[in-house]
Amino acid sequence: MDKTDKKVAVFACSGIGKPLGSVAREIGYELTERVRPDTTVLTCLALLVINDPDARKLITENPVIAIDGCVLDCAKKSLEANGAKSVKAYQSIDFFKKHSHLKPEGIAELNEAGKELAALAADELAGVVDELLAEEAKNV
Amino acid sequence: MSDKPRKVGIISCSGEAIPGGTISRVACRKVLDELRPGKSVTICLPLFIAGGEEERMFADLFPTITVDGCEKRCAALGTERLSGQPTKTLIVTEILKERGIPPTTRLRNLGPEEKAAVQVVAEEIAAAIDEILATE
Amino acid sequence: MPEFLETTHDKFIFKVKTGYLYTEDDYWVDIQGAIATVGVTDYLQKSGGDVAFVEPVAQGKSVKRGEELGEIETIKVTLNLISPVTGRIIEVNRELEAHPELINSDPYGAGWICRIELADPLGTKEGLLQAEAYMEIMKVKIEREAG
């Protein structure tokens, strides 16, 4: 099977005003620490504000997953404004719609329902990571 | 001018990939929720950057404190670029160093060391708010 | 006349659309002839949180003012929608099925909930608040919530 050295760059909005922002952040951690630790890298969204050269290189040379909390799509907008190569964008609220019995609460500390929601979301995104890298491998 | 009590906007970097980003985020929420509830407002950095009307308006009209997780100072530089110089800039790694506290290591699921670091940083932010409001 | 009246609390800007009528429990009504378009105010959508699901009552149903008009589920709460007018529902906003977030992003426009053929158009207007009057009620609620 074709392989690539690339990784999927993961960015989360981490919005501080709503639990959905904390869910987005937690999804980022679940995806990059538990679900696909070897093929993803979590990077600070705020680095794009200061035109950090490593962050820019990462997003222009690797596939990107943006995880926003809500429909305001702040992470997606920042990534696209900074020339991200290809952005697959997701919103915590859409995962909530699929699992609406898991009501996230808390911002500084997410409740168990929020953490469980994030874990389920990360499991769903595993396939997206694999597809993105398979696409990269084809282009090698 | 309004005679309402003044408030201070707190802008956390919330950097996801560094322990200081998590400390910054949790400390800012602690200040908002517990230490200075009527005197502070959090400004969501991603929304601020993306052009959020309310975030930008508040930062233009009210004093701001930026709280960065590391020396890259994304929140401070972002605020400067979009709104003007913050009234006060804080860096988690510097605060901990000054207090002789070792840098934290966890990004999430905070342990006792991280919670202690959060308390120290939150108190620093609260003191900065008090200083700003005393002079406004 | 500006399109919106505005009041600010902390960083939040609360808007009330001019030219609409309102109820004390945060619904807006736009009456054109015998047809009322109904929705929730900016204040209600902000307090309620991000909308995930909207379930209006069925098209064709008759409702009285104060009766249930459907349900909104947000991240925080499930809200029973209460009809601000009396009449028959002639149209529901189907866009809200796929895009419930319209209630948050455009509560006075694309986030409308349903259209009702009024039983008593003239009488209906008399029971509703002008934008300025609703603004004052809303300000009290905002201050009270702030503690």
Residue A133 has pLDDT above 90, yes or no: yes
Q: Give how far Cα C17 sits from Cα of A27, A49, A88, C34, Å.
A: 38, 35, 36, 20
Contacts of A97 in chain C (CB under 8 A): 52-53
Distance from CA of C80 to the nearest CA of B (A): 28
Per-residue pLDDT tens digits for A70-129? 999 999 999 999 999 789 999 999 999 999 999 999 999 999 999 999 999 999 999 999
Residue C147 to residue B38, Cβ atoms within 8 A: yes
Q: Where are the domains of chain A?
A: 8-126
Of B50, B74, B107, the CB nearest to A46: B74
What confidence category does residue C49 fall into, taking pLDDT thresholds of 50, 70 and 90?
A: very high
Question: What is the structure's pLDDT at A85?
Answer: 78
Residue A2 has pLDDT above 80, yes or no: no
Phi-psi group of A32: left, alpha or beta (phi > 0 → left; psi -120 to 50 → alpha; rest → beta) = alpha
What are the backbone dihedrals phi and psi of residue A10, each rounded to the nearest 5 degrees, phi first? -110, 130
Report the C-alpha gap between A94 and A104 in whole angstroms.
Answer: 13
Class of domain B8-135: alpha beta
Residue B58 to residue C13, Cβ atoms within 8 A: no
Residue A5 has pLDDT above 90, yes or no: no
Q: Which amino acid is at A57?
A: K
Residues of chain A above pLDDT 70, percent: 98
Determine the average pLDDT of the residues in C48-53: 96
Q: Looking at chain B, which residue has its C-alpha nearest residue C7?
A: B54
Question: What is the structure's pLDDT at B136?
Answer: 65
Determine the average pLDDT of the residues in C64-68: 95
Determine the average pLDDT of the residues in C10-35: 96
Strands (E), A1-140: 8-12, 40-42, 64-68, 87-91
Interface test mutation site (partner A, options C45, C50, C96, max chain A beta carbons within 10 A): C50
Q: Give the total residue count for chain C.
A: 147
Question: What is the structure's pLDDT at A1?
Answer: 46
User: Which ranges of chain B have pLDDT less than 50?
Assistant: 1-4
Residues of chain C above pLDDT 70, percent: 100
Phi-psi group of C130: left, alpha or beta (phi > 0 → left; psi -120 to 50 → alpha; rest → beta) = beta
Distance from CA of A3 to the nearest CA of B (A): 26
Determine the average pLDDT of the residues in A8-35: 96
* Token duo for residue A39: 């093929």
Of C75, C104, C105, the CB nearest to A103: C75
Of C8, C11, C147, the CB nearest to B43: C11
Q: Mean of the per-residue pLDDT values for chain A?
A: 94
Number of H helices, E strands in chain B: 6, 4
Question: What is the structure's pLDDT at B3?
Answer: 46
Residues with Cβ within 8 Å of A139's Cβ and at least 6 positions away in sequence, in order, are: none
**CATH no., domain C4-146:** 2.40.50.100
Residue C73 to residue A104, Cβ atoms within 8 A: no
Contacts of C12 in chain B (CB under 8 A): 54
Contacts of C8 in chain B (CB under 8 A): 57
Per-residue pLDDT tens digits for C91-146? 999 999 999 999 999 999 999 999 999 999 989 998 899 999 999 999 999 999 88
The answer to whether residue C147 neighbours chain B at the CB level (below 8 Å) is yes
Contacts of A16 in chain B (CB under 8 A): 12, 14, 25, 28-29, 42, 44-45
Residue A108 to residue B33, Cβ atoms within 8 A: yes
Report the C-alpha gap between B78 and A22 in whole angstroms.
Answer: 21
Q: Where are the domains of chain B?
A: 8-135
